[in-house]
């Protein structure tokens, strides 16, 4: 007999079914709670609430495990690349050689943007935040492909939409950088792999082709692989929430970009570097930094530390810490911020404040240092996160759309405002 959990509410005992995931995660199914008892649950920030059932990504935060479609992130980081991982996340299986070649071709075909789209760039001021441009542009892209505004995709349409979103993200991102720096746009080169082509569009100039060092290209590709999905994080949940109204994939992804922008989510990679720079330029000692982060009278938080899910270590941070060394060695460069980051990590890991609260470096703690080494400008860091997260957003949107039981997301609330009162005329207020 399947497991149940019993609760007594106002003297009435009610049994709730328990849902068990393939990795033995357990959830209490409260679907009939309100109908049978009139009660709802309250869970600020959804810390204990599963909003969906999913087959895409598994995370065990206590053990530091992250798997896409069952494959451990460490294996994908070492052996795969971004396009193969993107295919895996979106379609559920690793591609065959022919499938990957086809996917790659489609992406190359969809990477250039419609010439009318260039006018959109011209409308933005040079100081426009890249994440604002990115969010706006995804909606703009959809205006050129009306058939992709449908919400029931078969496999071919999903392939096309995925190729379009992945391809266009790299072009929009590179063009945003060119626009902000006042440099001429650069066409994509379909012979290059995804990450190499993005760096080419970012840094090549007329008559001056940018040739990325293989370790630099690999480091960028690794960052994208590590960001490809992360189950129900703020932006992915936003994509699902928005998509649950049956709006198209492009509008849903655009909302995901907005959610990712904030410093507690994707914006943390930028906040980490800005914080490390301030620590460096102010000549703060590591003790001063740690004391400030612990001081409850200060709103200073150690950016890149702590995670809602990981309470042991973030496996992505471990991989990136090693990648920092590799890319800096390859470029024969030293970065004082890396020394500061390492010293902070070392001190924090033996400080009871961080140990007791299970605060460890997260993916953003080292990704910024890798991106700095690659030459990605600071204001483009969160755009890189968005580029990496695209497969996860697409996969989650499609999974939700394919679920015959999926309904519009509409949480409840506990109302704490005024009780009913009568309207007051202006002279009585």
- Cβ closest to ligand CMC, residue 179 vs residue 227: 227
* Contact flag: residue 305 with ligand CMC (CB under 6 A): yes
Q: How far is the CB of 173 from ligand CMC (least distance, A)?
A: 19
- Contact residue for ligand CMC among 120, 178, 230, 240 (CB under 6 A): 230
Binding segment toward ligand CMC, per CB under 6 A, in 128-136, 179-187, 296-304, 332-340 = 296-304
Annotated catalytic residue, options 364, 379, 418, 422:
364
Please choose, from the candidates 174, 146, 173, 167, the residue with its C-alpha nearest in 3D space to the C-alpha of residue 249. Answer: 146
- Cβ closest to ligand CMC, residue 307 vs residue 401: 307
- Contact residue for ligand CMC among 113, 225, 239, 268 (CB under 6 A): 268
* Contact flag: residue 349 with ligand CMC (CB under 6 A): no
The conformational region for residue 204 under phi > 0 = left, psi -120 to 50 = alpha, else beta, is beta
Size of the site for ligand CMC (CB under 6 A): 20
Q: How far is the CB of 238 from ligand CMC (least distance, A)?
A: 12
Site for ligand CMC in 232-251 (CB under 6 A): 233
* Contact flag: residue 372 with ligand CMC (CB under 6 A): no
Q: How far is the CB of 376 from ligand CMC (least distance, A)?
A: 17
Q: How far is the CB of 247 from ligand CMC (least distance, A)?
A: 23
- Contact residue for ligand CMC among 246, 280, 308, 333 (CB under 6 A): 308
Q: How far is the CB of 226 from ligand CMC (least distance, A)?
A: 11
- Contact residue for ligand CMC among 226, 363, 370, 376 (CB under 6 A): 363
Binding segment toward ligand CMC, per CB under 6 A, in 11-19, 29-37, 126-134, 361-369 = 361-369
3-state secondary structure the chain: CCCEEEEEECCEEEEEEEEECCCCCEEECCCCHHHHHCCCCCCHHHCCCCCCCCCCEEEECCCCEEEECCEEHHHHHHHCCHHHHHHHHHHCCCCCHHHHHHHHHHHHHHCCCCCCHHHHHHHCCCCCCHHHHHHHHHHHHHCCCHHHHCCCCCHHHHHHHHHHHHHHHHHHHHHHHHHHHCCCCCCCCCCCCHHHHHHHHHHCECCECCCCCHHHHHHHHHHHHHHCCCCCCHHHHHHHHHHCCCCCHHHHHHHHHHHHHCCCCCCHHHHHHHHHHHHHHHCCCHHHHHHHHHCCCCCCCCCCECCCCCCCCCHHHHHHHHHHHHHHHHCCCCCHHHHHHHHHHHHHCCCHHHHHCCCCECHHHHHHHHHHHHCCCHHHHHHHHHHHHHHHHHHHHHHHHHCCCCCCCCCCCCCCCCCCCCCCCHHHC
- Cβ closest to ligand CMC, residue 30 vs residue 273: 273
* Contact flag: residue 302 with ligand CMC (CB under 6 A): yes
- Cβ closest to ligand CMC, residue 84 vs residue 364: 364
Q: What angle do CA 368, 358, 345 make, to 5 degrees?
A: 40
Q: How far is the CB of 346 from ligand CMC (least distance, A)?
A: 16
- Contact residue for ligand CMC among 111, 176, 236, 362 (CB under 6 A): 362
Annotated catalytic residue, options 110, 200, 230, 307:
307
Please indicate whether residue 364 is annotated as part of the active site: yes
- Contact residue for ligand CMC among 114, 183, 292, 301 (CB under 6 A): 301
Please indicate whether residue 307 is annotated as part of the active site: yes
The set of catalytic residues is 307, 364
- The residues that touch ligand CMC, with contacts defined as CB under 6 A, are 230, 233, 264-266, 268, 293, 301-308, 357, 359, 362-364
């Amino acid at each position: 007999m399947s497991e149940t959990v019993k609760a007594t509410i106002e003297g009435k005992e009610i049994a709730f079914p328990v849902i068990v995931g393939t990795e033995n995660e357990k959830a209490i199914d409260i679907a009939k709670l309100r109908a049978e008892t009139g009660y709802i649950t309250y869970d600020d920030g959804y810390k204990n609430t599963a909003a969906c059932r999913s087959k895409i990504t598994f995370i065990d935060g206590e053990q530091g495990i992250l798997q896409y479609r069952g494959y451990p992130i460490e294996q994908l980081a070492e052996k795969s690349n971004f396009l193969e991982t993107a295919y895996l996340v979106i379609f559920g299986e690793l591609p065959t050689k022919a499938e990957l070649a086809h996917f790659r071709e489609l992406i190359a075909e969809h990477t250039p943007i419609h010439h009318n789209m260039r006018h959109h760039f011209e409308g933005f001021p040079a100081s426009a935040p890249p994440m604002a441009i990115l969010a706006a542009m995804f909606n703009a892209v959809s205006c050129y492909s009306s058939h992709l505004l449908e919400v029931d995709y078969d496999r071919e349409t999903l392939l096309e939409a995925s190729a379009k979103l992945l391809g266009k993200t790299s072009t929009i991102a590179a063009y945003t950088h060119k626009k902000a720096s006042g440099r001429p746009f650069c066409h994509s080169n379909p012979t290059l792999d995804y990450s190499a082509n993005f760096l080419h569009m970012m840094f090549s100039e007329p008559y001056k082709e940018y040739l990325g060092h293989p370790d630099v290209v690999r480091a960028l590709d690794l960052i994208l692989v590590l960001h490809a999905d992360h189950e129900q994080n703020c932006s992915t949940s936003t994509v699902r929430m928005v998509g649950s109204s049956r709006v198209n994939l492009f509008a849903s992804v655009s909302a995901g970009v907005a959610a990712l922008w904030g410093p507690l989510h994707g914006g943390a990679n930028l906040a980490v570097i800005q914080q490390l720079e301030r620590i460096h330029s102010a000549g703060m000692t590591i003790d001063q930094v740690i004391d400030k982060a612990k001081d409850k009278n200060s709103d200073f938080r150690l950016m890149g530390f702590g995670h809602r899910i990981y309470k042991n270590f973030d496996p992505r941070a471990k991989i990136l810490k090693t990648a920092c060394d590799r890319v800096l060695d390859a470029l024969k460069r030293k970065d004082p911020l890396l020394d500061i980051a390492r010293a902070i990590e070392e001190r924090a890991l033996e400080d009871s404040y961080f140990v007791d609260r299970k605060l460890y470096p997260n993916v953003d703690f080292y990704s910024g240092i890798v991106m700095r080494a690659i030459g990605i400008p600071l204001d483009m860091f969160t755009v890189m996160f968005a580029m990496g997260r695209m497969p996860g957003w697409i996969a989650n949107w499609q999974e939700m759309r394919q679920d015959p039981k999926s309904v519009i997301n509409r949480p409840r609330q506990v109302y704490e405002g005024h009780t009913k009162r009568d309207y007051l005329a202006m002279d009585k207020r």
